[in-house]
Structure 1
Amino acid sequence: MAAKSSGSKKSIILGEALDALHHESREWLNIVAFWKDESKFFTDLLDREQINASEYGQMLQYLDKIHETLFDYLAEDIVAHEKQLAHLLSAEKGVSDQDYREKHATLREQMGLFANDFREFKKMVFGYAKKL
């Protein structure tokens, strides 16, 4: 289904089908929801009195709150992206396939970076909790 450019700058390489991109966006929303649940677990873990008293524990709690806020922003961006797809599919003026795909690529990159950052945060929390 991929179209090749015939030399024209206006030609778009179609790449992945829109339904595959939609599916990936929905999957991201599930991942973000799971991360939020994990974050609540970390909040409960870090609310212990021993952890609360330490400077490192307070730093971990602060990072956990930052992650929760970022989850909300990330989810909002994905939902807005899904709305952009709905506008694209209904052929509304001012909505382009290329803009949608560029935003999708940006979100894909953000999800990858955030997954790595959150993985490192979890290692820190578990490492700290093991030492107690």
Structure 2
Amino acid sequence: MKYSILTIAAVLISGFSFAQNKMEKCNKLVQEEQKVCKDNVITSIVSDYVEYPENALFNENEGTVYVRFATDENQNLKSVRVLGESDKELAEAAQKAIERFAYAEGKMMLAQSEVYRIPVKFELE
């Protein structure tokens, strides 16, 4: 049991440091390109937090949900909103993925008082 917990911790730490390295690379870009780069990194990481709804899996529902979320001056998640028309279950799963990300890795990666608009993709393998 100890071994598996240590393995999980090592994987999480290495994943977080990999994401931090990507964000540092974004910081080296010209200002106009930084936001797009950071949004792409966040989009990639959020996908790890997505839990495909069982009913959507059963019905083979796929799609992209566009989510807008904002942070406050302390980098805390302030609001999450689905943009446009989306499947209800996929939209709820996308919002939950953003919330899980924001309270885990996102706390260290999200900027203060920033607005993000990212796609959350649901694709069957």
What is the TM-score when the length of structure 1 is the normalising length? 0.29
Higher helix share: 1
Structure exhibiting the larger radius of gyration computed from Cα positions = 1
Higher strand share: 2
Higher RCO (CA 8 Å, separation ≥ 6 residues): 2
